[in-house]
Amino acid sequence: MTNSAVTGTGLRVVRGGRDVLRGVGFAIPRGSVTGLLGPSGCGKTTLMRAVVGVQNVAEGTVEVLGRPAGHPDLRARVGYATQNPAVYADLTVAECLRYFAAVLGAPAHDVDRVLAEVDLADRAAQLVGSLSGGQRGRASLAVALLGEPELLVLDEPTVGLDPVLREDLWALFHRLAAAGTALVVSSHVMDEAARCDRLLFMREGHVLADDTPDGLRAKTGEQDLEQAFLRLARAAA
């Protein structure tokens, strides 16, 4: 795919003697929201770890913004929010963000910006350890947003959020994409598929489809994207 932020070719990851990713190929375009969907345990998190360069790969390559995944030049260009929030419980939200901003070389004023974007400005002085699970997840997302990265890799960022906050975050994702950022957003909730510009459907370590929502509907003859996924899964069985 032209204008790709990320390209994976023949990607194979082995863990515990088992192939977790099996010759996976995919492309993630710039300026769009790519949904990484599939059931728990299908390899979504492993693929995301490979994209950010923290996963040992047995075979294949991943190129990110013109560099091999994990290259030092990508440090400030890629934001990553893990499924388990990577924030310090004994710091306030603002202190935690100021620390990560210094590590990433992001401007100090970025802290106020990202707090507003994830709707945590009123929690800036609160200890991270006293936040709810959903609030800690948003604090972790705020860290990933520091420095306005060109690629955002977000592992199930909407888990545990109420519908209003979910709606607000998806609006933020699309604003970022409209400004040129490439986003990879994983989910096992199929109703989020329709919110994405492009979809990677995974099952048992394979990418079953890499297409737009409309392309998948046309390919499978199903208007409902969950039914489209089920049709693809049955065809691959």
pLDDT at 29: 95
- Helix 133-145 and helix 93-104, axial crossing angle in degrees, nearest 10: 30
Stated pTM of the model: 0.90
Please give the helix or strand (H or E) that residue 237 lies within, else none.
none
Q: Which CATH class is domain 1-77+169-237?
A: alpha beta
Average pLDDT over residues 3-9: 94
Please give the helix or strand (H or E) that residue 235 lies within, else none.
helix 225-236
Q: In this structure, what DSSP letter does residue 41 have?
A: T
Predicted confidence (pLDDT) at residue 188 exceeds the cutoff of 90: no
- Which tens digits make up the pLDDT trace of 95-122? 999 999 998 889 989 999 999 999 999 9
**Strands, sheet with 198-203, edge to edge from the N-terminal-most edge strand:** 78-81, 151-155, 182-187, 33-37, 198-203, 206-211
- Which tens digits make up the pLDDT trace of 121-165? 999 999 999 998 889 989 999 999 999 899 999 999 888 788 888
Characterize the bridge pairing of strands 18-29 and 67-68: unpaired
Residue whose tokens read 């099952």: 203
Predicted confidence (pLDDT) at residue 213 exceeds the cutoff of 80: yes
Domain boundaries, the chain: 1-77+169-237, 81-148
Q: Is 3 or 2 the better-scoring residue by pLDDT?
A: 3
